Amino acid sequence: MAKTTENNPSNKRTSCKRGTPKGVNLLREPFLNKDTAFTEQERDSCGIRGFLPPYVLSQDEQVKRVMENYHKRATPFEKHIYLRSIQDSNEDLFYRVVMDNVTEMMPLIYTPVVGQACQEFSHIFEKPRGLFITPKDKGKIADILRTWPQKDVRIIVVTDGERILGLGDQGADGMGIPIGKLSLYIACAGINPAQCLPVTLDVGTNSEAKLNDPLYIGIREKRLRGQAYDDLVEEFIVATQEVFPEPLIQFEDFGNTNAFRLLTKYRDRICTFNDDIQGTGSVIVSGLYSAMRITGGKLEKQKILFQGAGEAGTGIADLIVAAMIEEGLSEEKARQQCWFVDSKGLVIKSRTDLAEHKLPYAHEHKPVTDFLSAVEALKPTVIIGASAQPKTFTQSIIEAVSKINERPIVFAISNPTSKAECTAEEAYKWSKGRAVFASGSPFDPVTLNGKTFVPGQGNNAYIFPGVGMGAIACGAKRVTDEMFSAAAKALAGEVAESDLEKGRIYPPLSMIRHLSAVVATATAEVAFKRGLTKKRKPADIVAFMKSQMYDPKY
């Protein structure tokens, strides 16, 4: 029978209520459809007797059938397409399958497989999901949002497709990302699917391959830039706040110039965050806290050298600086612990080509052109690859950082797997098993000289679903960096000694519902402490979060 928590769709799973679609339309509504699990009574009251084969299946039996078909799909990409087709016909069944097999399916519905799904989105396109907004819709965006059938939208993931994972400009094909990301909000933190809206601002693409592809689904124009772009985003943001109950807007996979600008412009105006910047910062800082339980150092003593000074790299550094300040360091000293190498070499004061977000990390130093020389010159305790340049953590680099440190911390977070700076096996082999390694995309355990290492995946999914859930559940007016710091600490607190013994600095993803509740609680606690909520503080925040979580059982 229907669950009736505030965050749970209660109009589902009952015999037909007034306003619920009937007949074949019910079977075409993924929020309501139960397919062969509609009971005898529902088949009569909803006018679907005859549309379904006579035998009534339980959801467990349906799950068995889905899994049987899932295993018949030979490749991860085919599995992705199959799962998405289930999502489009029966949301509860899709989420039941995903939640029951979350560790296995997370890489299929999000990174790395979603990367290929975006690259081929126009070619595998079957059914629309979410909203596409183009420059032609200027002046009409609120009207378009009003046509969305769900009125209680609480979270919107929006992309403009310019920097999809590490795969560059995918234009309208980037829609795979908001869809996939929202699936994780729902599967990991139990946000109600009916409260989620994926949006692509299709402002054109500079990818010639897309523009020349006859099956490309987007507008065939070069990217909109300048004031016209800003005006479109502004109209979209204002419309979301007017049409829906002040939803959380999560910016995703924008090119870095726009990403930083838009975050700065909107973070103090509405409830918003950028996961590529802040979520990444949080999950990687959490990984550092856990890594230091293995290496024995303190955060303020770490010298961190980044390859890649984009959204991920500087987002991580900003949160590290905040955490170091909390430990008593001055801001200046904290920034001095973070160094960057970008495509032009070491980020230093004398350079005149630096974007604004890199300036706080431009230190006094003589020019260094490559990462290996930077490692040798700066002697970092931690190296973090966030450049989307595959194979750039070479054997010489891993050996160099292993010479400097007994237990070097090596994070190769570029996604998808094909873009990783090095593999888990390379990091362990070249460091002779001494590296504390984490990656962005998952790697299998590695056995070296009889010892098995389990690489941690610094998956943003440890953080953003919980932060989203926490923000929505307490009616947060803003999402702040302090919330991401609290989330990082809360997640690190869940890493067991038994995980660390295997080299794993994140808890198993199978615990994700619990972890998301913990992160949601940490987020909400900051919101309540800072007076940033629209709701009253519940007596038991964890229990409250858990009670809000969507359960896909019929």
Catalytic residue numbers, as ranges: 110, 181
Q: Is 417 in the site for ligand NAD (CB under 6 A)?
A: no
Q: Is 414 in the site for ligand NAD (CB under 6 A)?
A: yes
* Binds ligand NAD by CB under 6 A, chosen from 48, 99, 299, 312: 312
- In the complex, the smallest distance separating the C-beta of residue 388 from ligand NAD, rounded to whole angstroms, is 4
Q: Is 239 in the site for ligand NAD (CB under 6 A)?
A: no
Distance CA 468, CA 464 (A): 6
- In the complex, the smallest distance separating the C-beta of residue 184 from ligand NAD, rounded to whole angstroms, is 12
* Residue 312 and residue 413 in contact, taking contact as beta carbons nearer than 8 Å: yes
* Residue 142 and residue 178 in contact, taking contact as beta carbons nearer than 8 Å: no
Nearer to ligand NAD, 295 or 418 (CB): 418
- In the complex, the smallest distance separating the C-beta of residue 50 from ligand NAD, rounded to whole angstroms, is 49
* Binds ligand NAD by CB under 6 A, chosen from 188, 201, 309, 412: 309
- In the complex, the smallest distance separating the C-beta of residue 110 from ligand NAD, rounded to whole angstroms, is 11
* Binds ligand NAD by CB under 6 A, chosen from 79, 419, 478, 504: 419
* Binds ligand NAD by CB under 6 A, chosen from 35, 311, 481, 494: 311
How many Cβ atoms sit within 10 Å of the Cβ of residue 223? Answer: 17
Q: Residue 300 has which token pair? A: 């303020």
Q: Which residues contact 76 (CB under 8 A, 6 or more apart)?
A: 107, 108, 113
Q: Which stretch binds ligand NAD (CB under 6 A): 81-89, 233-241, 244-252, 383-391?
A: 383-391
Q: Is 388 in the site for ligand NAD (CB under 6 A)?
A: yes
Q: Which residues contact 500 (CB under 8 A, 6 or more apart)?
A: 290, 293, 294
* Residue 379 and residue 352 in contact, taking contact as beta carbons nearer than 8 Å: no
Q: Is 119 in the site for ligand NAD (CB under 6 A)?
A: no
Distance CA 308, CA 69 (A): 41
* Binds ligand NAD by CB under 6 A, chosen from 12, 154, 163, 478: 163
- In the complex, the smallest distance separating the C-beta of residue 414 from ligand NAD, rounded to whole angstroms, is 3
- In the complex, the smallest distance separating the C-beta of residue 439 from ligand NAD, rounded to whole angstroms, is 7
Q: Which residues contact 73 (CB under 8 A, 6 or more apart)?
A: 79, 81, 82
Instruction: Give, to the nearest 10 degrees, the angle between helix 464-474 and helix 176-189.
Output: 70
Nearer to ligand NAD, 48 or 182 (CB): 182
* Binds ligand NAD by CB under 6 A, chosen from 162, 276, 421, 481: 276
- In the complex, the smallest distance separating the C-beta of residue 315 from ligand NAD, rounded to whole angstroms, is 7
Q: Which stretch binds ligand NAD (CB under 6 A): 159-167, 177-185, 238-246, 503-511?
A: 159-167
- Return phi, psi of residue 151, to 5°: -95, -20
Q: Is 302 in the site for ligand NAD (CB under 6 A)?
A: no
Q: Are strands 338-342 and 345-346 parallel, antiparallel or unpaired?
A: antiparallel
Name the percent of the chain in helix, strand, coil, to the closest 5: 50, 10, 40
Q: Is 165 in the site for ligand NAD (CB under 6 A)?
A: yes
Distance CA 497, CA 507 (A): 10
Q: Which stretch binds ligand NAD (CB under 6 A): 131-139, 190-198, 413-421, 488-496?
A: 413-421
Q: Is 387 in the site for ligand NAD (CB under 6 A)?
A: yes
432-491: contacts with ligand NAD (CB under 6 A): 440, 458, 460
Nearest Cα to Cα of residue 275 among 185, 169, 341, 187:
185
Number of amino acids touching ligand NAD (CB under 6 A): 28
Enumerate the β-bridge partners of residue 412.
385, 439
Residue nearest to ligand NAD (CB): 310
The per-residue b/e assignment along 28-53, b for 16 or more CB within 10 angstroms, e otherwise, is: eebebbbbbbbeeebbebbbbeeebe
How many Cβ atoms sit within 10 Å of the Cβ of residue 207? Answer: 21
Q: Residue 541 has which token pair? A: 């925040």
42-61: contacts with ligand NAD (CB under 6 A): none
Q: Is 159 in the site for ligand NAD (CB under 6 A)?
A: no
331-360: contacts with ligand NAD (CB under 6 A): 341-343
Q: Is 318 in the site for ligand NAD (CB under 6 A)?
A: no
Nearer to ligand NAD, 201 or 316 (CB): 316
Q: Residue 119 has which token pair? A: 């690259």
* Residue 153 and residue 193 in contact, taking contact as beta carbons nearer than 8 Å: no
Helix (H) or strand (E) holding 395: helix 395-404
Q: Is 282 in the site for ligand NAD (CB under 6 A)?
A: no
243-262: contacts with ligand NAD (CB under 6 A): 256
Enumerate the β-bridge partners of residue 410.
383, 437
Would you tell me which residues interact with ligand NAD (CB under 6 A)?
A: 163, 165-166, 256, 276, 280, 283, 307-313, 341-343, 386-389, 413-415, 419, 440, 458, 460
